[in-house]
Structures are given as C-alpha cells and as structure tokens.
Structure 1
Amino acid sequence: MSSDFYKSSILPYAAIVIKICRAYTNTQEDFEDYYQEVCLQIWKSRDSFRQKSEWSTWVYRLSLNVCMTLLKKKKNNYQYFASDALPEELVEDSHAFSDEALNHLYGAIKKLSEVDRGVILLYLEEKSYQEIADIIGTTPNNIGVRIKRIKERLKKRLNGKVN
C-alpha cells in the first residue's frame, strides 16, 4: 500500500474505521488486526469504487462488511493474520479506550446483532437515515424503526443512563 494512498484516502477516514472496528472487537489485539484488515481491503478494493456514493459512505460499508466477515471467521475459530501496532498517527486516539462511559456504551453496543451495531454506529456519526440505508442496503423507513428499537435496547442495557 502506498504511503500517499494511505495518507489521502484512509487516514482522513481513520476515525470511521476505528469506531467500527472497536464495536466488533473485544481486545486491543483483535482491534489492531481488524483495523489493518479494513485498511488492506480499502486498498485492494479501491479500483472497484464506482463513485455512486461518497468515498466516506463506501469506507463505512466496506469497514462494516470486513468486520462482520472477520467476526464470523473468528466465531468459527479460523486463524487469519498476526497483529502489528497501530500506525503512530492513530496512537494518540487510543486514549478513548480508557474512557469508562464510552467503554460502557461500547459494551452495550457489542451485545447488539452485527447489523444493529453498524446501524447505531452510523446513527451516532449523525448519518441521515438515507445514508445509513444506502450503506446497510435497506430503506430509510426500516432504518428509522431499527434505530428506535436499538435505542430502547441500549437504554435497558445501560440502566436508563442514555437519553
């Protein structure tokens, strides 16, 4: 992967990838593995980007798909790759892992289904129902219903601590 591609096409969207990877992993090692795999898949798939959506929308969709695939592989006990450290540019963002309230929220999100995790992450990123529907592959009405139900489940899991 060229350094220029990483700096121009992945690094500006690293926060997206980090949030999605974090929601699908339980350990720092798994997080790093998922992050690397998402970056690799973005690079490998860059030529298949047809510009029918924004680059960020495509990164979201690809990140969700990669994380869900890796999660399924892990559930089936496949070994898929070794971990290296995160790039230095992202180390400063790792302080978010020590925030207790955020960890509590991510813990509740991790108990959701794979698709619902993706939906709520996109909602928390303030994506419109249409954007979420485009990324997930459903209708905006379906997204509205899902978000309402997800919020109710999260409230119960967080003992009413979320508005």
Structure 2
Amino acid sequence: MVSAPFAPEFLEMLNDHQPRLRRVARLYCADADDRQDLYQEMVLQLWRAWPHYEARPEVQVGTWLYRVALNVAISDLRRRSRHPAAASLNGPDLPDLAAPPPEGPDPDDLAQLYRAIERLSNVEKAFVLLYLEERSYAEMADILGITQNNVRVKMHRVQDKLRQLLTQPA
C-alpha cells in the first residue's frame, strides 16, 4: 500500500515542534533506540490524526500535539512494561544529553534529575514535561483534560515528590 506524501503544512508543524516530540520521547525512554522508535511512532500517529486536527482549527496545534504525543508515549510504555527487554549487561542507561556549556548545569545533577523523573508515574512525567516546557496552568489543564485547580494541586505534589526523590541517597 502506497501512502500519500506528507502535506507541507504537516511537515512545517513537525519541523516547528520536533524538539518537543524528542523531549517527550526522552522523558519516557532511557534508551536511544527506543527513543527513536517512539519518536517515529509519534510522527506516524500525528500524521494519521492530522486530517482530524485540520477539521478542528480552534484547537491550538501545541495542545493537540502534546495530547497525541503523550498518549503514544504512555501507550508505548505500557506495551514495553508488558514485554520487558533483556537486562543490559552494561549497567543502567544514563541520559545522553548534549554536553552542556561550561557555565551550564552539572552533568551529575542532570543525571540524578533524570533518574528521579524516571521514578515518577506516567502522569507525573507529563506534568514535569509540561512544566519544563513552561506551559501555563491553563494550557496544562487543556492538554491533560483536567481543571486548572487540579493542575495546581497535582503540580505541587509532583514537585514535592521530586524534591523527596532528589534528597534520598542513591
């Protein structure tokens, strides 16, 4: 079966939002190959959903994109947890972050933060991602389908949990 080529509008949207999709993949996959597979699955699902999005122009593209990407990531995580991969002989995977500038954060601190984030639930990870993307509580509520007050409460709980995880000995 031959598929239709990507619409120029879709490709433009994808290029504009590629870093966000990659951050979602990073948050839900520690392994680089798994991240790439998840990213490709997100692109596929976005392409499949594109005609539905074009029919509802009142929805912001960023909100729609996050909904699709988070749903794909959580579904993929559930699927992988039902069929875990063989254990690595090289020890735990640490994030493959680009080298930060000299005045940037300490790589050990970033690794510790990613390990703490990996211990959060799927929903808590979504809150962290949206927070790091500097989304407003109104945008978070819209993306996650909950009230702004609920976002505030859950965000406070996630922040407390992360603080607790970061103060625990490794």
Normalised-by-shorter TM-score class: 0.7 to 0.9
Which has the larger Rg?
A: 2
Secondary structure, aligned partner of 1:95: coil
1:128-161 Cα offsets, whole Å, 9 max, x none, are 111101101111000100111111111111129x
Contact 1:21 1:34 in 2 (8 A): yes
Give 1:110's match in structure 2, choosing from 93, 118, 142: 118
Length-normalised TM-score, structure 2: 0.77
Q: CA RMSD in A?
A: 2.5
| Code of the aligned partner of 2:67 | R
Q: How does 1:82-97 map to 2 (within 5 A)?
A: 95=98
Q: Specify every segment of 5 or more residues in structure 1 that has no aligned partner in the other structure, as ranges.
A: 80-92
Give 1:148's match in structure 2, choosing from 149, 153, 156: 156
Residue of structure 2 in register with 1:77 after alignment: 83
User: Given the superposition, is the C-alpha separation of residues 106 and 51 from structure 1 closer, same or farther in structure 2, using an over 3 Å criterion?
Assistant: farther
User: Given the superposition, is the C-alpha separation of residues 9 and 104 from structure 1 closer, same or farther in structure 2, using an over 3 Å criterion?
Assistant: same
Runs of 4+ in 1 over 4 A off after TM superposition: none
Residue identity over aligned pairs, in percent, reads 34
Contact 1:96 1:102 in 2 (8 A): no
| Code of the aligned partner of 2:153 | V
Length-normalised TM-score, structure 1: 0.80
Higher helix proportion: 1
Q: Specify every segment of 5 or more residues in structure 2 that has no aligned partner in the other structure, as ranges.
A: 86-95, 101-106
Residue of structure 2 in register with 1:124 after alignment: 132
| Code of the aligned partner of 1:149 | R
Distance 2:148 2:25 in 1: 24
User: Given the superposition, is the C-alpha separation of residues 155 and 94 from structure 1 closer, same or farther in structure 2, using an over 3 Å criterion?
Assistant: closer
Contact 2:10 2:50 in 1 (8 A): no
| Code of the aligned partner of 2:25 | C
